[in-house]
Amino acid sequence: MRNQNPFLSCKLLLGACKILSLSFFNEAPYALGFVTSIEKELTAAHECAEAFIGDTYKTNSSKMELFAVLTTVFSIGFPIACLLLHITSDDDEAILSWQNLITGFLKSIQNNLPLFEPKFFFTDKDKGQMNAICSAFKMQPSFCVWHMKRVIMFKIRDLKNSSSANLTDDEEKKILDLLTKHYNMHAYLFPGRNMDSIWEIAVADIWYMLLPSNAQTLHAHLMKNRYSREKFKSWGRRTENDGKPFTRTTMMVEAHWSL
């Protein structure tokens, strides 16, 4: 079963495959998603409270973007589904189409795995993935702490190179360590406090950390992109009613690509 079009050829192959099953297909632009057969048994036997989504490039001869959704059972990662996506431009229309296709792919996972109901869905800083998670699963996605700290580290170094922040390497490390501390702060660990009071503590911490360094530009950046009330909810351990996740990063997806 072959076709000159690699997407149509893959669709035919999945139609005859017993291990993988086609879950999502779009022809313009091309998008093809599939789920693994073992996941129906896995989600039926175990609660999959945490999910992760990540993407990679240059892993196939057609240079298509490859997405994977994973979950954990007893701290072991299992692939739930994958998506091959072919977007040829980066204009606003293409980006919107890209986001809609990811949303459709995530909804197809729900249709094929109705018992897959994660309480936490981790992603990196990608806004399209975050919007897709919100739309498909009606939940607030969780930031990966590794990606978050990495972006802030590069921002600090850009400001230092442009002389907009007079920070030493030791001060840079203390800021990143403080981000980790705030990421791990959860109402379960602070009896009598809720998310609002924890947010207030975090905002005060970052202000007093940066005040001696006269780093107003960095403080403004952090308040806008990480420490605003709404953005703070997206950090990995912000929910109060659904418990707290064991995982903090999407590194499980990164490890999956290395297999």
Residues 53, 118, single domain; the answer is yes
Residues 43, 122: one domain?
Answer: yes
Q: Can you tell me the mean pLDDT for 63-74?
A: 84
* Domain identity same for 66 and 123: yes
Shared domain for 16 and 128, answered yes or no, is: yes
pLDDT in tens, 104-144: 999 999 988 888 889 889 988 778 888 899 999 988 888 88
Q: Which residue has the higher pLDDT, 93 or 35?
A: 35
In a domain, 229, yes or no: yes
Q: What is the mean pLDDT of residues 78-91?
A: 80
What does the pLDDT read at residue 144? 86
| 213 lies in some domain | yes
Question: Cα(151)–Cα(147) distance, rounded to whole angstroms?
Answer: 6
Percent of the chain with pLDDT over 90: 17
Same domain, yes or no, for 92 and 205?
no
Do 75 and 186 fall within a single domain? no
Residue 239 belongs to some domain of the structure: no
Are residues 53 and 156 part of one domain? no
pLDDT at 58: 59
Do 152 and 63 share a structural domain? no
pLDDT at position 185:
85
Tokens of 85: 């996506």
Can you tell me the distance from the alpha carbon of 152 to that of 150, in angstroms, rounded to the nearest whole number? 5
Domain of 158, in residue numbers: 145-233
pLDDT digits (tens, 9 = 90+) for 211-238: 887 788 899 999 998 899 888 877 756 6
Which pLDDT band holds residue 13 (cuts at 50, 70, 90)? confident
Closest to 49 measured CA to CA, from 123, 115, 100: 115
pTM of the model: 0.81
| Within a domain: 241 | no
With 70 as the cut, is the pLDDT of residue 61 above it?
no
CA 122 vs CA 30, 125, 234, 242: distances in Å: 25, 10, 10, 15
> Is residue 128 domain-resident?
yes
Dihedral angle, C-alpha 103, 71, 254, 249, nearest 10 °: 90
Provide the number of structural domains found in the chain: 2
Average model confidence (pLDDT) across the chain: 82
Q: Is residue 1 part of a domain?
A: no
Does 159 share its domain with 126?
no
Condensed to tens digits (0 to 9), the pLDDT of residues 95-107 reads 778 888 999 999 9
Residue 242 lies in a domain: no
Whether 109 and 154 map to the same domain: the answer is no
The pLDDT assigned to 69 comes to 92
Q: Judge whether 191 lies within some domain.
A: yes
Q: Are residues 172 and 211 in the same domain?
A: yes
pLDDT at 207: 92
Q: Do 14 and 77 lie in a common domain?
A: yes
pLDDT of 59 > 70? The answer is no
Cα–Cα distance for residue pair 12/125, rounded to 1 Å: 34
